[in-house]
Amino acid sequence: MESASQSRQADKAKPLVSIKDIAKEAGVSICTVSLVMNNKDRNRVSKAVVQRVRETAQSMGYKPNSVARTLRTSRSYVLGFITDEIATTPYAGRVLVGAQEAARKLGYILLTVNTGNDRELANQEIAALRQYRVDGFLYAMMYHRVVEIPAELEGSPTVVVDSEDENRKIPSIYPDDEMAGYDATNRLIQAGCKRIVYYGSSITIIAQGERF
């Protein structure tokens, strides 16, 4: 039986499929394949030909050259995920997984860096991510709070995750903690509970007040 390592080595040994190969197999011009694979075929290539080209590309295992695509479109389809400690905290891993899945559905991949709440390190990591020409940033915090956005992110498409920009300039996404508290309490009431105790964190955070 072939091992996983042998299978990977076999895949590496396979020659890369080019649009020239696809054109020859599908019986169309290289220009037609280029239009289809770059999603520029509308009103220029018939639907039947588009389908044939795409099916041929898929069957041949065609994978677009990411470097060439970046040079052509000025987009890397890579997002920088900057976090204080989410990447190293087991209980918060779902935030990272959710971001990764959402990015993948849109054709993006994530480059994740963990700063450990070190502002100087965060600035260095942002500079490093810029070297990869990322298309945007996700600035993610461990818990819901108001944060100062690093000046190094200015001018770049950015979304704050699980926190809020103190200047209210950058879009943010965070849990509805008030509704979470309401739903949790309502379930206890429906279960017949009458004396309900709320335990909060010793740290004053936005989520605690909203849940209460």
Query: Do residue 183 and residue 198 come from a single domain?
Result: yes
Query: Do residue 127 and residue 47 come from a single domain?
Result: no
Within 8 A by CB and 6+ apart from 147, the residues are 139, 141, 160, 163, 164, 165, 166
Orientation angle between helical segments 47-59 and 30-37, nearest 10 degrees: 90
Q: Kindly report the CA angle at 86 between 202 and 84, in degrees rounded to 5?
A: 80
158 with 150: CB under 8 angstroms?
no
Query: Do residue 163 and residue 196 come from a single domain?
Result: no
Mean pLDDT of 101-113: 88
Q: What is the pLDDT of residue 180?
A: 92
d(CA 76, CA 43): 27
Domain, as residue range, for 203? 177-211
Asked if the model's pLDDT at residue 2 lies above 70, the reply is no
pLDDT in tens, 119-161: 888 889 999 898 888 999 999 988 888 889 998 898 899 999 9
pLDDT-based confidence at residue 7 (cuts at 50, 70, 90): very low
Q: How many domains does the chain have?
A: 3
Q: What is the pLDDT of residue 1?
A: 47
